Chain A
Amino acid sequence: MDQAITMNKTSFGTATTGKLGMWLFIVMDGLTFGAILIGGLGLRIGAESWPAAGSVLNVPLTAFNTFLLICSSFTMVMALNSILRGDQKGLVKYLILTIAGGVLFLCVQVWEYSHFIIGSEHLESILKGAGFTGSQFLPTTGIYGSTFYATTMFHGLHVLSGVIYLSIILSMAFKEKFGPDNYDRVEIAGLFWHFIDLVWILVFTVIYLI
């Protein structure tokens, strides 16, 4: 398979049409995330009260999740680095590690949600301290709950899409469909994965820390 068509060199260098398409998608998706975060900030400014950082949400656990995504971004870029050197085994190894990072991230997120949805007396006392009633933290728990779930679930769906996308790339890598002159799809998938990491950095700060 030949590398995809390269755009006008004076404007976009060696970027292929596929890569430019992914960048265009990333810009549009970034604006969607921007709208969700800005909408949340707008609601927050208007809210009477807002829980302090770390009072309801588990910051250390989410920091671990952030670390997971950083590591998976590193393994993703190493996967691309491997195929650029013609290292098929390296590509497969780093893709598997990247997918594992994504799956682990989702598992931690599901654990966090289940803890909030099942509820407990401990959670009830935390929520009471933050000005909410009930023993569960749900999307209906005020503007705070809806902002938290809308943002993190939208991001979680991106992680899930990324895991599926990378699994397809991995299945192609097993068949040795990539090489030093044919790495475009790996690079494009990598761009999407790094974008997921990039957005999480913003979500982590806005939703969990501020």
Chain B
Amino acid sequence: MEDHKKTYFWNAVWLAILTVIEVFAIDMGLPRTGLIVLLLSITVTKILLVAMVYMHLRYETKTLRRLIFLPIPLALYFLWGVMYDSAFDWTL
């Protein structure tokens, strides 16, 4: 593995900047849906930065990356199921 000091440092700087943007975004008076989309987009970006750079996923093989990212659509499917359930309960 090579020396990636600068990459690690700038990754931390970007993560900090994105966190500051998130905190200020909640007081920017954005429409609710727009705010949620913005916050979730920033969160996904931050997660990818940590996973790809700090957890070295970008240096791993495609098989390992697939193994890790495949359960995510499954979790989203569960979310869809739970959302339907909760709406059903509360409108009954």
Question: Could you tell me the dominant secondary structure of chain A's interface residues?
Answer: helix
State A30–B78 Cα separation when bound (angstroms).
14
A74 CB contact (under 8 Å) in B3, B9, B75: B9
Complex interface: stretch among A38-46, A102-110, A120-128, A169-177:
A38-46
Against B, the Cβ 8 Å flags (1 = close, 0 = not) of A40-61 are: 0111011000000110000110
Complex interface: stretch among A63-71, A130-138, A146-154, A159-167:
A63-71
A67-B19, A195-B55 given as contacts; is B61 within 8 A of A12 (CB)? yes
Interface size on B, residues (CB 8 A): 48
A77-B8, A205-B40 given as contacts; is B78 within 8 A of A38 (CB)? yes
Contact A201 B54 (CB under 8 A): no
Q: Is A96's beta carbon under 8 Å from chain B?
A: no
- Taking the nearest CB of chain A, how far is it from the CB of B81, in angstroms? 9
Q: Which residues of B contact A205 (CB under 8 A)?
A: 22, 39-40, 42-43
- Taking the nearest CB of chain B, how far is it from the CB of A36, in angstroms? 11
State A78–B90 Cα separation when bound (angstroms).
50
A30 CB contact (under 8 Å) in B11, B39, B71: B71
State A43–B82 Cα separation when bound (angstroms).
9
Q: Within residues 40 to 92 of chain B, which ones have a CB less than 8 A from any CB in chain A?
A: 40, 42-43, 46-47, 50-51, 53-55, 60-61, 63-64, 67-68, 71, 74-75, 78-79, 82-83, 85-87, 89-90
Q: Which residues of A contact B11 (CB under 8 A)?
A: 74
Contact A42 B50 (CB under 8 A): no
Q: Is A191's beta carbon under 8 Å from chain B?
A: yes
A46 CB contact (under 8 Å) in B25, B63, B90: B90
Chain B: CB-nearest residue to A205:
B43
Contact A209 B90 (CB under 8 A): no
A54-B26, A76-B54, A198-B51 given as contacts; is B82 within 8 A of A210 (CB)? no
A198 CB contact (under 8 Å) in B42, B50, B75: B50
- Taking the nearest CB of chain A, how far is it from the CB of B73, in angstroms? 11
Q: Which residues of A contact B9 (CB under 8 A)?
A: 74
Q: Which residues of B contact A195 (CB under 8 A)?
A: 55
Q: Within residues 151 to 210 of chain A, which ones have a CB less than 8 A from any CB in chain B?
A: 190-191, 194-195, 197-198, 201-202, 204-205, 209-210
User: What are some 7 contacts across the A-B interface (CB < 8 A)?
Assistant: A27-B68, A27-B71, A30-B71, A59-B26, A60-B23, A74-B12, A198-B47
Q: Closest 3 CB pairs between A and B?
A: A42-B82, A74-B12, A46-B86
